[in-house]
Amino acid sequence: MGGLSTSQAYEKDNSLIFTGNVSLENNGGFASIRTTINTNKENANLISLRFKGDGKTYQLRLRTSQYLDGPAYTTSFETIKDQWQVVTFSPTDFSLTYRGKTLEQQPELTFKDVQQLGLMIAKKQQGNFKLELAHINFEHK
């Protein structure tokens, strides 16, 4: 690790703001945040996000009780600068990854097992970034 990227997360007007600067110095190239979640996901088969971005690509990262500090189930979403968007994902939209590499073994993801949720900007998208997240909802449809 040892990169020099910086990030912060804070609440503003009922949204989560994930912002910072991605630096390529010292083997950098990404920034991330994550939190534990305790919401009812028992019958969830979809997860939706409402966000406003900066034209960059972000990852939604989920960790299950089985993988709290290791691999994460990951999917990417693109943002359109200064435009509110909604995306919806099913469990099959996620791949199990570790340090940027997709793992050969892909245990089935069920949202009821998710214990941690994170956001990441990666792929060496150098410079300032800002993602405003209005909601992340686990849904059943």
For residue 2, pLDDT over 70 is answered with: no
Say how many Å lie between the first and final Cα of the chain, rounded: 40
Q: Which residue has the higher pLDDT, 67 or 82?
A: 82
Residue 35 lies in a domain: yes
Q: Degrees (nearest 5) of the Cα angle 48, 52, 58?
A: 70
Give pTM, 2 decimals: 0.93
The CATH number covering residue 114 comes to 2.60.120.430
* Residue 1 belongs to a domain: no
Domain total of the chain = 1
Q: Give the structural domain span for 119.
A: 6-139
Q: What is the pLDDT of residues 80-130, one digit of tens each?
A: 999 999 999 999 999 999 988 999 988 999 999 999 999 999 988 999 999
| 124 vs 75, more confident | 75
Strands of 114-121's sheet in order across: 31-36, 114-121, 57-64, 72-78, 95-98, 101-102
- Among 135, 128, 136, 139, which residue's Cα sits nearest to residue 15? 135
